[in-house]
Amino acid sequence: MIVQRLRDDRSLLINGSFVVAFVVLLIVAATTTDSFMTDDNITNLMKQSVTTGLLALGMLMVILTGGIDLSVGSVVALAGIMAAGLSADLPIPLAMAIGVAAGVACGFVNGMLVARFRLAPFVVTLAALTTIRGLAYVYSETPVTPTDIGFLWIGTESIGPFPVATLIVVAVFALAWVFLTRTGAGRAIIAIGGNREAVRLAGVNVPRHILVTYMISGFLAGLAGVILASRVGIAQPSVGVAFELNAIAACVIGGASLAGGRGSVLGTLGGVVLLALIDNLLTLYDVQSYWQQVLKGLIIVAVVLARRTEDER
């Protein structure tokens, strides 16, 4: 009882420290740069958070089961370039839907290999990372620019002060919260990461639920790829490299355990916002992108070390 209380107190302290870090960064950004609080920068910050937000949410679903999905960056590239290319010959909604469907298909293959054939998630998705990236180059070795300006609507337009893409992410996070906390399937996914054998003995179809998480990850990665292509106005087969790092970082910052069984939608959203703030602040300070990658890697290590006692429950 006392040990459990100490662990809960430590978890609360760690989560509180990230809240304090966010507030401090916000104050530093607002007081040291003139452009941070401008409408253009805030809007840009919201738009740039979309891709990481969708990928992190999909990654959370997989991590909760004790898995990992390293292929999400490649799925972003494949979905975006397919949607942009097909938009020249098909209605834009259909072209985008096919791009997202490609992401779901990638997730289905990953999930089948992990859930049905019991292959290691790390190995399966690492192989998928290379394979899907190759498929993106097979589709087009050169960047694809959509010819119909309507393709740009979902990634560039706003409703009031909020970008359409940001509103989509908020809606997806809300649905994910309901799914994980209010449905039997969502609670089963969390339980699988905690004790897979006990869940199986309780009569839950474990492989089916694991398959669903990988399909959700593929769906959200495909959606992220389509929205990204729409926002920047061009789709490239090389886009998405190291995007999985951002997604994993957001999850672990938000309290997800890489061992599975622990994590939350709200925590992941907080991780996404904190990473976006760090990225934006470093960009405003003209810090080179490779130093940003170094910082993200250090953040992941620091957070995993800070939460190591929670994983020992």
Q: What pLDDT does 15 receive?
A: 72
Structure tokens at 10: 């430590």
> Taking the mean position of all CA atoms in its chain, how far away is CA 20?
23
Cα atoms found within 13 Å of the Cα of residue 88, Cβ hemisphere only: 9
As a whole number of angstroms, the distance between CA 144 and CA 139 comes to: 10
As a whole number of angstroms, the distance between CA 59 and CA 70 comes to: 9
Q: What amino acid is encoded at 53 in this protein?
A: G
pLDDT digits (tens, 9 = 90+) for 55-67: 999 999 999 999 9
Q: Which domains does the chain have, with CATH numbers?
A: 39-312 (1.10.3470)
Residues 6+ apart with CB under 8 A from 63: 193, 248, 251, 256, 257, 258, 260, 263
Q: For residues 234 and 34, is the Cβ–Cβ distance under 8 A?
A: no
pTM of the model: 0.93
Q: What pLDDT does 3 receive?
A: 44
Q: What pLDDT does 288 receive?
A: 82
- Give me the DSSP letters along 25-74: HHHHHHHH-SSTTSHHHHHHHHHHHHHHHHHHHHHHHHHHTT---TTHHH
Q: What pairs with residue 159 in β-bridges?
A: 162
As a whole number of angstroms, the distance between CA 164 and CA 156 comes to: 7
Q: For residues 109 and 55, is the Cβ–Cβ distance under 8 A?
A: no
Q: What pLDDT does 147 receive?
A: 87
| Unique residue bearing structure tokens 């999905």 | 69
Q: What pLDDT does 12 receive?
A: 73
pLDDT digits (tens, 9 = 90+) for 164-191: 999 999 999 999 999 999 999 999 999 9
Q: What pLDDT does 201 receive?
A: 94
| Unique residue bearing structure tokens 């999930």 | 111
Roughly how many angstroms between the first and final C-alpha of the chain, as a whole number?
12
Q: For residues 132 and 106, is the Cβ–Cβ distance under 8 A?
A: yes
Q: How high is the mean pLDDT in each 10-residue block of the chain (313 residues)?
A: 53 75 83 86 92 98 97 98 96 98 98 96 98 98 94 95 96 98 96 94 96 98 98 96 92 89 93 88 83 78 70 51
Using alpha carbons only, what angle is made at residue 260 by residues 78 and 303, rounded to the nearest 5 degrees?
Answer: 85
